[in-house]
Amino acid sequence: MKDENCIFCKIGAGEIPTSKVYEDENVIAFDDMEPLMPVHTLIIPKEHYANVGDNVPEETLGHVFGAVRKVAEIKGLTERGYRLLVNTGEDASQSVKHLHVHLLGGGHMPRPNDQDWGTAATNADQIHGE
């Protein structure tokens, strides 16, 4: 199912150009247009689901998380690691209502319970290779 008003559906259908990182039959991954980290890629199913709570079939979740591993390899993050973020609904400030996983990496990110998380998570000061 597609939602004709959904920007991520349009990206999945190839109707809007993006910085594509990976694509297969079921999912597409592309770089976030407002990156919070040196690597900030979004992984989405091509089918439309508003978020992870939207009766997403487990098979679809498997496709998305399978692609997470591939994107991490493509981006060279397998060894150092990365953070996955899945904003779900209003309290999580989800802005695009099409299920997506943020893959963030390329620098050290504090743990969410660290006091300085609010700014440090988006202003990484330990970028690898710099």
Instruction: Check: CB of residue 28 under 8 Å from CB of residue 20.
Output: yes
3-state secondary structure (DSSP) of residue 20:
strand
| 98 noted as active-site residue | no
The answer to whether residue 7 forms part of the interface with ligand AMP (CB under 6 A) is yes
Instruction: Check: CB of residue 26 under 8 Å from CB of residue 60.
Output: yes
Shorter beta-carbon distance to ligand AMP: residue 26 or 87? 87
Q: Which of 40, 100, 102, 128 is catalytic?
A: 100
Interacting residues of 40 by C-beta distance below 8 A, sequence separation 6+: 31, 32, 102, 103, 104
The answer to whether residue 18 forms part of the interface with ligand AMP (CB under 6 A) is yes
Shorter beta-carbon distance to ligand AMP: residue 72 or 104? 104
What span, in angstroms and rounded, lies between the C-alpha atoms of 80 and 29?
20
Residues 40-59 that bind ligand AMP (CB under 6 A): 42
What is residue 116's DSSP assignment? T
Residues 72-111 that bind ligand AMP (CB under 6 A): 87, 93-96
The footprint of ligand AMP (CB under 6 A) covers: 7, 18, 30, 32-34, 42, 87, 93-96
Catalytic residue positions, numbered:
100
